[in-house]
């Protein structure tokens, strides 16, 4: 070793080794940087913001339908442009909630006949309640266009259909079999006796519900069995209110 150091060629070897060490360290640092590279994507924080506006706009469609169906079930009449009024307020409030972001939201309400989940629906101001039939439903439909000038977002479109369907399958003795479905004909699970109300049309009396049980059916997927305290004589009205507050009244037969 001492011989190598004292040798002139040995000095070259030392320098070469040091140079190689520098190169290895440099490559190591580059590799470390590549692994721990922090990629800053400035649009990421806006994704949740857009998601917030989209989520709450959809929530407002459901809330408006809940308000509309609740008034209709309670008083028999309601404001037909509930959804329009709420969306107009939301349009103004959104720009106040996010000042400096340049947020503006436009909406369009379904105002003609559409076929939704196999049912022909004639909307008025984006709402429709087709009740007092064995197959009844409440529906709301709106399309939105979101602009956010701070990030150069224009015309981001999204729509929402809030839907609740109640079908009375059969009435036998004190038992009523019904199905409750939401958007895309998805069965709603977890409904309890507080969510249902049964009344006899002839006497206009509300029947006491003892229990609500459910079972899975090949055709309907989820069927609710409403057990009343007394034998049910038709015609009857069954009211359901889901977790979003949307109500539907179906009549049998």
Partner 1 sequence: MRVVEVILASLVIVFALAFANILAIAPTSPKYEVTELEKMGYNVLYDLDKQGLLAKFVYNKNWSDLQAALRVLLPLEVYFNLTVYYSNGTTVNEVPIFYGSIETFSTSKNVASVAYGLCGYSTMDKAVYDPRTLVLQLARG
* Tokens representing residue 68 in the block: 């509309």
CB of 99 to partner 1, least distance (A): 8
The minimum distance between CB 38 and partner 1, in angstroms, equals 5
Residue 91 binding partner 1, by CB under 8 A: no
For residue 192, the Cα-to-chain-centroid distance in whole angstroms is 21
Query: Which of 89-97, 110-118, 147-155, 174-182 is the region at the interface with partner 1 (rule: CB under 8 A)?
Result: 89-97
Please identify which residue in 40, 76, 77, 115 interacts with partner 1, judged by CB under 8 A.
40
Position 20 contacts partner 1 (CB under 8 A):
no
Q: Does the footprint of partner 1 cover residue 26 (CB under 8 A)?
A: yes
Indicate which single residue of 4, 13, 22, 234 sits in contact with partner 1 (rule: CB under 8 A).
22
Tell me how far apart the terminal alpha carbons of the chain are, to the nearest angstrom.
105
| 241, 249 contact by CB (below 8 A) | no
If the CB atoms of residues 83 and 171 are measured against partner 1, the closer one turns out to be 83
The mark string for 189-208 relative to partner 1 (x by CB under 8 A, - otherwise) is -----xx-------------
Q: How many Å apart are CA 248 and CA 241, to the nearest integer?
A: 7
Q: Does 185 bind partner 1 (CB under 8 A)?
A: no
User: If you compute the radius of gyration of the chain from its CA atoms, what whole number of angstroms results?
Assistant: 32
Residue 138, interface with partner 1 (CB under 8 A)? no
Measured between alpha carbons, how far is 162 from 59 in angstroms, rounded to an integer? 9
DSSP 103-146: EEEEEEE--SEEEETTEEEE-BTTEEEE-SSSEEEEEEEEEEEE
Check residue 140 for interaction with partner 1 (CB under 8 A): no
Q: What distance in Å separates the CA atoms of residue 214 and residue 192, rounded to the nearest whole number? A: 10
Tokens of 234: 């038709």
Q: Which stretch binds partner 1 (CB under 8 A): 40-48, 111-119, 178-186, 217-225?
A: 40-48
What's the CA gap between 32 and 217, in Å, rounded?
A: 57
Residue indicated by tokens 């009449």: 77
Which spans of this chain sit near partner 1 (rule: CB under 8 A)? 5, 11, 14-15, 18-19, 21-22, 25-26, 29-30, 32-33, 36, 38, 40, 42, 44-45, 48-49, 51-53, 55-57, 59-60, 62-64, 66-67, 70, 86, 89-90, 93-94, 96-98, 194-195, 241, 244-245
């Amino acid at each position: 070793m001492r011989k190598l150091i004292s040798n002139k060629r040995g000095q070259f070897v030392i320098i070469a080794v040091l140079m190689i060490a520098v190169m290895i360290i440099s490559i190591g640092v580059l590799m470390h940087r590549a692994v721990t590279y922090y990629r800053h994507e400035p649009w990421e924080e806006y994704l949740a913001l857009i998601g917030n506006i989209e989520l709450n706009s959809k929530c407002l469609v459901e809330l408006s339908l809940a308000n509309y169906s609740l008034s209709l079930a309670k008083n028999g009449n309601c404001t037909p442009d509930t959804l329009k009024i709420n969306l107009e307020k939301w349009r103004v409030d959104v720009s106040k909630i996010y000042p400096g972001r340049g947020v503006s939201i436009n909406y369009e309400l379904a105002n003609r006949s559409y076929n939704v989940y196999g049912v022909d629906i004639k909307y008025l101001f984006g709402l429709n309640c087709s009740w007092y039939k064995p197959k009844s439903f409440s529906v709301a439909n709106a399309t939105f266009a979101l602009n956010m000038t701070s990030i150069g977002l224009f015309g981001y479109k999204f729509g929402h259909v809030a839907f609740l369907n109640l079908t009375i399958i059969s009435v036998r003795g004190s038992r009523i079999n019904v199905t409750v479905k939401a958007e895309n004909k998805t069965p709603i699970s977890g409904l309890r006796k507080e969510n249902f109300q049964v009344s006899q049309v002839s006497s206009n009396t509300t029947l006491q519900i003892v229990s609500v049980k459910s079972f899975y059916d090949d055709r309907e997927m989820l069927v609710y069995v409403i057990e009343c305290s007394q034998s049910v004589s038709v015609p009857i009205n069954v009211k359901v209110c889901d977790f979003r507050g949307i109500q539907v009244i179906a009549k049998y037969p």
